[in-house]
Structure 1
Amino acid sequence: MTKKNRKYIGMLGGGQLGLLFLQQAKKNNEMVLVYDPDKSCPAAKEANKYISAEYDDFKSLDTIANECYVCSTEFENISYKTLEYLEKSINVFPSSEILKITQNRRLEKKFLKRNNIPVTDFFIINSQNDIKNLDSTDIYPAILKTTGLGYDGKGQINVDSYQQLSSVFTELGSVECILERKVNLYKEVSIIAGCYQNGHIEFLPISENKHLDNILYMSKVPASLDEVITHEILEISKKIIKNLSYIGVIGIEFFISKDQKVLVNEIAPRTHNSGHFSIEGCDISQFQQQVNVLSGCKPSKSNLLEPSVMINLLGDIWSQGTPNFEIIKQYNCASLHLYGKKTSRKKRKMGHITVTDKSLKTAVNIAEEIYGKIQKKSK
């Protein structure tokens, strides 16, 4: 069946990434079918068609197979078997094999090591016996992370010594974990790319990121990096994309150590929080890249229009009442995106603000000024 017979782009997941994709797709006159078990998900109301069903409900998935000409996912914690099922009927980007690798930290790290891509030192732990074998290992300070279902700081705990490791492993449920050496950190950065079916790659500007409690707080673009580091990030990213035979939008997170080593932290097989700046900051956003790739459009370059700063709005700032969003109207350089989530809770991403300016320093100052003001309860 051709694209003419199947009118939708399928999107597995209707969270904020699905919503922001949907909003861009509509501007391009593309129709989107959103599939998410949660009827209150942000993208449900705006979707051209919405299906509420579990991701392993193959009968419901047949609607995607029959009515969509291509399908993608907004997050990696869907069973790769769901994508395998859909791949029997339609193109799915990224593929089930890529999702299988990137949703598991063990498989992802082994892929990176196998392809001689630099990462921090790590060990896989499946049992207390594995921990006993690490009694003479000099890897601390470290972080113990579950190998699955980890995002936004979930499923990871700092470990400062071998003596703490056993109890932390138990605290994480005694499931398979990866113990990673902490990097003597200089900067955290990320890069996003639209990877087209013909092999063409379009990179967005590199973002410099600041995290609080393991959750992204701020992204600023352009990142302050020298040419050598920038070149290395691009070359490593190309290598990852090539070795994965990647099609879709990808986000790659990097650590830069104080001794100027570039290390890959994680691969996100989707659009990325640190790329939200591109909605206002670039002529072609990460979501436009995603629409282009999925719909088969020609590659388009993402040019930075002005230095940009993005700050996440977490549920924490709703704790004293509705934030004072009216203040943003006073700033012509600022944009507010709220995701329409019905309930707020601590550390939940509820929206973001973006500020653009000719001066990155000015953009940072304005963004932080706005962030401080909107935390005051509306009267």
Structure 2
Amino acid sequence: MLSTSPCNIRTIGVLGGGQLGRMMALEARRAGFKVVVLTDEPPGSPAAQFADATIHSGYSDPAALRSFLDQVDVVTAEFENLPDSLLQAVEAERPLRPGRKALFTAQHREREKMFLREQGIACAEFRVIEDLAGLEAAVAEIGRPCVVKTAAFGYDGKGQAKIVEDTSLPETWAAFEGQRAVVEQWVSFVCEVSVVGARDVQGHMAVHGCIENEHAHHILDVSIAPARVDPAVTSRAIELWEAVAVGLDYVGTMAVEMFVTAAGEVIVNEIAPRPHNSGHHTIDGCMTNQFQQQFRAVAGLPLGDPSLHSPIVMVNLLGDVWRDETTPPDWTPIWSHPRAKLHLYGKATARAKRKMGHFTVIGDTVEEALADARAIQSQLR
């Protein structure tokens, strides 16, 4: 793995042009770094709006990659679904943080689950399948209910189906035909949590505590910090996050999503090798936010204090609340609250289920922040 002295890092390269890259670029530039983005998105992408330079190209274009690498000292990624050939090419010439191992593992459910199993990290029982016969055998072994998920390119509930007692397996498999898939035991959980934190090049770790997450239609709706869980659950969740970070030799900000059962067991669901939607509250609620931690770790700098300074709730803003493709809702409910803040991602057009922004509300207690956030949310719909 290539290394570079923090003193020599002036320009950070970002693979990807979305909102995570945007928020990271904003924090890095505020701290004096230059940011160059390589993205296959069209001009005007969220990250490009805050970058010093943007290269718009497919990720398999050698000339574009050469231009990108010539301009940067270190590289990071704002999403994990990148071609492995690109990751290998970048890592051969520049420090890639997080490294190929982390990105390659987390971009594919089969590799992710195998990593968790090999590391002895608690996760749901699973089987890897590639045809209907495999699905039938897996369901017979694991039992119903269970979930079948595509091995690659699944997020926000896409590429998965729940199997219950009356589910037809041939009909279910028809949507997965020709793909490798993972069948997971159904976890009966009482809540979903995540831990967002960072690990630096020296192996030091700093986490933002345990975050409670509520989803709507498989998309994150609300994040609550601190999570309303037993302290033992928080401790266990942080232990699991640390085990994942060490196992991946991780550098940068990472999120691990988990289930909590009625018995207090904590089970890893997914790894996100980047800043995460459930960590957006850290911008307004923590001493050092997840994007600041990302550029610090990537640049080889010490991590900041991750502690939460106030109870806070984050609410996602999807395109569903826009009046039309280009007309946002009336933001008065947010502006009228003295401890609410609006964050928009600079996306030109809205559509259903598209993440357009988020807002946060700080309270003296979690209950106060959540009640106020729900009240604002109801007025925007």
TM range (shorter): over 0.9
Runs (4 or more) in structure 1 with deviation over 6 Å come to 1-6
CA distance in structure 1 between the aligned counterparts of 2:128 and 2:166, rounded to whole angstroms: 15
Alpha-carbon distance in structure 2 between the residues aligned to 1:136 and 1:155: 21
What is the alpha-carbon distance in structure 1 between the residues aligned to residue 121 and residue 29 of structure 2?
38
Give the corresponding residue for 1:365: 371
Q: What is the DSSP-based 3-state SS (H/G/I as helix, E as strand, rest coil) of the residue aligned with 2:49?
A: coil
Q: 1:203 to 1:2 in 2, by over 3 A?
A: closer
**2:210 maps to 1:206:** yes
Per-residue CA deviation, residues 352-372 of structure 1 (Å, 9 max, x unaligned), is 001111111111111111112
Cα distance in structure 2, aligned partners of 1:29 and 1:166: 56
1:6, 1:66 within 8 Å by CA — same for their partners in 2?
A: no
Alpha-carbon distance change, 5 to 121 in structure 1, aligned in 2, over 3 angstroms? closer
CA distance 1:169–1:280, shift in 2 (3 Å) = same
Q: Which residue of 2 aligns with 1:140?
A: 144
CA distance in 2, matches of 1:22, 1:347: 24
Closer, same or farther: CA 240–5 of 1 in aligned 2, 3 Å: closer
The answer for the alignment partner of 1:121 in structure 2 is 125
Structure 1 residue 352 corresponds to structure 2 residue 352: no
Q: Map residues 92-171 of structure 1 onto 2, 5 A cutoff.
A: 92-134=96-138, 136-161=140-165, 163-171=167-175
Q: Contact 2:124–2:186 (CA<8 Å) still a contact in 1?
A: yes
Partner of 2:75: 71
Q: Which residue of 2 aligns with 1:278?
A: 282
Secondary structure at the counterpart of residue 229 of structure 1: helix
Scaled by the length of structure 2, the TM-score of the pair is 0.94
Q: CA 1:205–1:5 in structure 2 vs 1: closer, same or farther (change >3 Å)?
A: closer
Contact 1:6 1:67 (8 Å CA) reproduced = no
Give the residue type in structure 2 aligned to 1:12. Answer: L
Shift of 1:76: 0.7
Q: 1:248 to 1:138 in 2, by over 3 A?
A: closer
Q: Does 1:30 align with 2:36?
A: no
Q: How does 1:1-379 map to 2 (within 5 A)?
A: 7-38=10-41, 39-134=43-138, 136-161=140-165, 163-319=167-323, 322-375=328-381
Q: Give the letter aligned to residue 227 of structure 2.
A: A
In the TM superposition, what is the alpha-carbon distance from 1:6 to its structure 2 partner? 6.6
Q: TM-score scaled by structure 1? A: 0.95
Stretch of structure 1 that moved more, 92-101 or 318-327: 318-327
Structure 2 residue identity aligned to 1:372: S
Q: CA deviation at 1:137?
A: 2.9
Q: Structure 1: which amino acid aligns with 2:54? A: Y
SS of the residue 1:303 aligns to: coil
**2:20 is matched by which residue type in structure 1?**
L
- For structure 2, the residue ranges without an aligned partner over 5 or more in a row are none
Distance in 1 between residues matched to 2:147 and 2:136, nearest whole Å: 17
